[in-house]
Amino acid sequence: MVETLVVEGGLTLESGAHLAPLEIAYARYGDPSHPVVYICHALTGDAEAAVWWDTLIGPGKVLDTDRFHVVCANLLGGCMGTTGPSSTNPATGEPYGTDFPLFTMRDLVAVHRTLLRALEIERVDIAVGGSLGGMQILQWSLDFPGEIDRAVLVCASSRLTAQNIAFSKVARHAILTHDAMDVARMMAHITYLSEEGMERKFQRARRVPDADMTLHSDFEVEHYLDHQAKIFLARFDPGTYLYLSRVMDYYDAFADERPQPPTTKYLLVSFSSDWRFGTDHSVAIQRQLKTLGADSTHHEVESPWGHDSFLMNVPEYHRLVKEFVYQDVASAL
């Protein structure tokens, strides 16, 4: 069940802009006396981690809600209960839209920390995130040593490449210039899969094998993209897409000097067929973490499902997370 924390005083963003009130939608699973697992979601997620990440989170699963207290919040700028571009701007009584202030990865972290203070949770035993989720955790662990014991960063990045930014740019251009979030989503969806995964799933199958040629959807892969875009348009806010994609573009986790080594112990997982934030990104994170003197392990896992692998049942990946999660918290359970 999603609950909402209302922070009347609001939040001052890294830019200096002040956002008030601030609402934070969050979900909790399991006994609050158990070790805390904090989940950060990716671009299009929400607070209900045990729903969208049910491959990993739930009773008896790798992140076992019978043994951990699992907490997840909708991100700042989100459209699933936390204040964002679709929220009402108190100054106008209308939705913020693109009047919403721009914000950064640090602001996303500030919202998570605000929630934890309100919940009287002082330390996160294990923080887990894929893609943008992992980026938030990386920023958090670097900025606030001592707050996160163990971090699982799955197909994360410490800074986007020119190609990554280019894809985000095209998505934003589609939304800003043509009101075409469906196009943005379709394109992004291709980048979350792999060529091999798409070939396995669709090949060149046509909906009606001997139908005449048409400019409209005919191949099964086309119908699939139409369907994905349709359900996405119905549930998601274009403003959130704009703002959260931009947070990623500007993100550069290791740009600042770090006088103090991170105390967090990291598990990095990347997937062989992920070409959005592939193994190179995790290798770069680990190299920087080593320079800072942090304890980290990186594994590339074979999987044909591209970037989306982090949401799928990939046994080797789940085994690695399970080992990492239980190796040191065993005494606390």
245: enclosing H helix or E strand: helix 238-250
Q: Which of residues 240-259 bind a second copy (CB under 8 A)?
A: 242-243, 246, 249-250, 252
Q: Which of 6, 20, 118, 166 is in the footprint of a second copy by CB under 8 A?
A: 166
Bin 168: left if φ > 0, else alpha if -120 < ψ < 50, else beta.
Answer: alpha
200: enclosing H helix or E strand: helix 195-202
Q: Please give the single-letter amino acid code of residue 51.
A: V
295 makes contact with a second copy (CB under 8 A): no
The crossing angle, in degrees rounded to 10, of helices 162-178 and 181-192 is: 160
Is 141 designated active site?
no
Is 18 designated active site?
no
Q: Which of residues 125-164 bind a second copy (CB under 8 A)?
A: 159-163
Q: Which one from 158, 307, 309, 318 is the annotated catalytic residue?
A: 307
Q: Please give the single-letter amino acid code of residue 214.
A: T
Is 185 among the annotated ligand-binding positions? Answer: yes
Q: Which of residues 170-209 bind a second copy (CB under 8 A)?
A: 170, 172-174, 176-180, 182-183, 186-187, 190, 193, 195, 198-199, 201-204
Instruction: Tell me the closest approach of the beta carbon of residue 181 to a second copy, in angstroms.
Output: 10
Is 131 designated active site?
yes
Letters for 21-50 (x = contact with a second copy by CB under 8 A, - = none) are ------------------------------
Report, in angstroms and rounded to the nearest whole number, the Rg of the chain calculated over CA atoms.
20
Instruction: Tell me the closest approach of the beta carbon of residue 82 to a second copy, in angstroms.
Output: 19
- Cis peptide bond upstream of 21, omega within 30: yes
Q: Which of 4, 12, 15, 92 is in the footprint of a second copy by CB under 8 A?
A: 15
Bin 208: left if φ > 0, else alpha if -120 < ψ < 50, else beta.
Answer: beta
Q: Would you state the structure tokens that stand for residue 174, as one six-digit string?
A: 């589609």
**Rounded alpha-carbon distances, angstroms, from residue 176 to 26, 42, 173:** 29, 21, 5
Evaluate whether 228 touches 189 at the Cβ level (below 8 Å): yes
Residues at the interface with a second copy (CB under 8 A): 15, 98, 102, 104, 159-163, 165-167, 169-170, 172-174, 176-180, 182-183, 186-187, 190, 193, 195, 198-199, 201-204, 212-217, 219, 221-222, 225-226, 229, 242-243, 246, 249-250, 252, 275
